[in-house]
Structures are given as C-alpha cells and as structure tokens.
Amino acid sequence: MEERKGRKGAETRARLLDATQELLESGGYFGAGLNQVIAAGNAPRGSLYFHFPGGKDQLVGESVRRAGAAVGTALGEIADAAPTPEAMVESVLDFLGERLESSGWRKGCPVATVALEMAADNDPLQQACSEVYTSWEAALRAKLDGRPDADDLAVTILALVEGALMLARAHRSREPLHRVGRQVRVLLA
C-alpha cells in the first residue's frame, strides 16, 4: 500500500511539473498561474502545496531545472553523435526548430521566458535559469575542447541559438535558425 501511495505521489508531482513547463513555455511565469497548473496537471490543490511547500517559485524553479536537464540530455546526445562542432550546432538548431514548429511555435527555450521575466527580481529563479544555461554552455564547451576560445565560443553560440529561437517564434519560421546556423559555421571555420 505504501509503495502504491509513493508511486501515485510521484506521478502527481510529475504531472504538476509537466503542466507547469507547458504553461511556462507558452505563457511565461505569469501565464502559469497555480489554478491553471492544478487544472492542467489534473491534481487536487492540496497536492500542489504538499509537493511544493515553497509555492509557485519552488514549482517553477524545479520545472525550469527539469526541462533544462531534458534539453541538456538531448544536447549531450547530439554532441556525442556529431563529428564536428559545426555539425553539432546544426543538429541542435534542427532539434530545437522541430520542437518549436511541432508545438505550434510555443516551445522555444524552456528557460528563456522565465529568465526574461523573473531573473532581475527573483533570486531563486535567477539561480535556476543560470544553472541550466551554465550546463548548456558546458556541453557546448566540451565539443569545442582544445580551442583557446572555447569559453567565449560556447557563450556566443548559446546566445545566437537563444536569439534565433526568439526570432523563429516571433516570425513563426525556422529561417532565423537557418541563418544562425550558417553564421556559426563561418564563426567556427
């Protein structure tokens, strides 16, 4: 009985995190109200406060870290399969472009909206966003290992990808991603 209870609790917690991430990506921090999370997660109100006693900021922080880890895992797999840094960036842009387009232009970066809305005023959420971006920079840096400018290039590429995602979302087109891909190839040559 205890095991079933534990599994059910873990499932409820995961549903709340999934719902939060969906709402964050489509509507930002302010578009992810607790009532919306509860409804989208199909969970009773008490479950929200049981699993996230720190309230909305804890829920959002964990959701950002969780989504960041999922994207980070995909980036790591792409990096491992890519023969060159240029091929890795092209594959990353294709992956993110497909994710964005297949979501109806709602799922750009799982971190950017929260970072833009909350990082200046909310230290715990700023920290969560910073941790995710740092892990993504590390994945890029690892593929650029051996280059004296690997640190700068990793940050530059991440910034270009983030900007391209924002433009692709605004234009509802992958063209900004393609253009950034071409420029990254030039940058890495």
- pLDDT tens column, 90-126: 999 999 999 999 999 988 888 999 999 998 899 999 9
- pLDDT tens column, 130-189: 999 999 999 899 989 889 999 999 999 999 999 999 999 999 999 999 999 999 999 998
Give the H or E element holding residue 107: none
Sign (positive/negative) of CA torsion 32, 34, 39, 40? positive
The string over 143-156, giving b where at least 16 C-beta atoms fall within 10 Å of a residue's C-beta and e elsewhere, is bbeeeeebeebbee
- pLDDT tens column, 64-89: 999 999 988 998 899 889 999 999 99
- pLDDT tens column, 26-61: 888 998 999 999 999 999 888 898 999 999 999 999
| pTM of the shown model | 0.88
Please name each of the domains of the chain with its CATH number. Answer: 2-188 (1.10.357.10)
